[in-house]
Amino acid sequence: MQAFIPYVQAVGRGEKLKRDLTREEAREAMRLMLDGTATPAQIGAFLITQRVKGETADEIEGFVEAARTFCQQIRPRVPNLLDLGVPYDGKARTPQLAPAIALIVAATGQPVVLHGAPGVPTKQGVTPAHVLEALGIPAEQAPEAVAHQLETLGIGYLHAPRFAPAWHALTPVRQQFGLRTALNTVEKLLNPANASRCVAGFFHRNYLLRMRAAVQRLFPGSWLVQGIEGSIECRAGRTTRLYPADEAAEPLVVEAPRLGFATPDDTEVPADAAIHAEITRSILADRPSSSRDTALLTAGVLLYVSGRADRLADGVEQARAALADGKAFRLLQQWMETVRTSAPSS
């Protein structure tokens, strides 16, 4: 307990005395939170004062480095794996499209992995896990089983209660004050499958720009997306900006109308996993809708930034073909069958 006090003091003192943590200090502070040394009261005080101060790129980098040492990481034999760092707190207003996007991308031959956790504040919304469960893909799978799925199918989902139990144990503390903290950023960058590059979603542009240096040092070649509800989505009918983690590189401006998606996607749905799963089925069946267009556009952009397509338009066409010929839908069925025939993962 005493060992954590200096970190609370560093970020929590008055305006003239508070200071940013070094990367090494941030790494140690996270270790103390995850190994049980810090008490729940200390963790809460630290997270709130850190939120008020504002986290730096060095702090996030140190937090992520330490948190990853507490994860059961996997290293699937999959070249050029793409990690989709979507918000762990899910969607509160708009459809959770991450599973549909991941299936479309994987159906083109680009391997992709999702990860998440239940009950995360602030939104505590519909997560990829909720949608996958409603589709027949259990979230609670052993990391080794997910590694096998990535190697055989090119898609997988890792659940934090399984791959990062110490991290997930912080959830009750986080729920007690219901505010966004540095942990909401860190968890998107856990990269538990050691993917070649990550694409992470953020809501606030200024915060995203502040994090670019940390992401570049952690996972070079990654991208940060300014998306609705902090997602990685490029919405139909709108302009979305993606920022390379390399601060010297220019942002990628995705103008949906110029790529054939002129009708704005203003879809709002209740936080009901069954409804979100039905939207996913409809997308995979290639039924026209604004949600399908957003999923298609986003998948095409991901194929471009992952190097599978030379132009944005080519990426969109690859994604379109994966839906039109039923590959994405068949991949969902294969995923369900693989899970069903696998040995129990507990």
Beta-bridge mates of residue 243: 224
53: in domain: yes
| CATH number assigned to the domain comprising residue 309 | 3.40.1030.10
Local confidence band at 344 (pLDDT 50, 70, 90 cut-offs): low
Beta-bridge mates of residue 91: 126
* pLDDT, tens digit (0-9, with 9 covering 90-100), for 188-229: 999 999 999 999 999 999 999 999 999 999 999 999 999 999
User: How many separate domains does the chain show?
Assistant: 2
* pLDDT for the residue numbered 346: 47
3-state secondary structure of 212: helix
Q: Does residue 136 register a pLDDT over 90?
A: yes
Residues 130 and 259 in one domain: yes
Residues 66 and 207 in one domain: no
C-alpha to C-alpha distance for 129 and 222, rounded to whole angstroms: 23
77: in domain: no
Alpha carbon of 325 to those of 98, 111, 284, 321: distances in Å? 20, 19, 10, 6
* pLDDT for the residue numbered 43: 98
* pLDDT for the residue numbered 238: 97
Of 36, 70, 104, the residue at which a domain comes to its end is 70
Residues 52 and 86 in one domain: no
Residues 126 and 18 in one domain: no
**Domain span including residue 47:** 4-70
The closest of 150, 294, 168 to 231, measured between CA atoms, is 294
Residues 38 and 110 in one domain: no
* pLDDT, tens digit (0-9, with 9 covering 90-100), for 230-283: 999 999 999 999 999 999 999 999 999 999 999 999 999 999 999 999 999 999
C-alpha to C-alpha distance for 303 and 315, rounded to whole angstroms: 5
334: in domain: yes
Mean of pLDDT values over 113-135? 97
* pLDDT for the residue numbered 15: 81
The closest of 227, 223, 226, 231 to 86, measured between CA atoms, is 231
Residues 23 and 110 in one domain: no
Q: What would you report as the CA-atom Rg of the chain, rounded to the nearest whole angstrom? A: 20
* pLDDT for the residue numbered 342: 81
Looking at residue 225, its amino acid is: V
Residue 102 near residue 84, CB atoms below 8 Å:
yes
Compute φ and ψ for 183, nearest 5 degrees. -65, -30
C-alpha to C-alpha distance for 141 and 98, rounded to whole angstroms: 18
Of 70, 98, 118, the residue at which a domain comes to its end is 70
Residues 29 and 169 in one domain: no
* pLDDT for the residue numbered 229: 95
The closest of 69, 21, 52 to 214, measured between CA atoms, is 21
* pLDDT for the residue numbered 343: 54
Residues 190 and 236 in one domain: yes
344: in domain: no
Of 48, 70, 92, the residue at which a domain comes to its end is 70
| CATH number assigned to the domain comprising residue 24 | 1.20.970.10
225: in domain: yes
Compute φ and ψ for 307, nearest 5 degrees. 90, 10
Residues 214 and 239 in one domain: yes
C-alpha to C-alpha distance for 216 and 213, rounded to whole angstroms: 5
* pLDDT, tens digit (0-9, with 9 covering 90-100), for 304-330: 999 999 999 999 999 999 999 999 999
Residues 95 and 217 in one domain: yes
Residues 45 and 192 in one domain: no
186: in domain: yes
Q: In whole numbers, what is the pLDDT of the chain averaged over residues?
A: 97
Could you give the count of Cα atoms lying within 13 Å of 274 in the half-sphere of its Cβ?
A: 0
310: in domain: yes
Residues 225 and 330 in one domain: yes
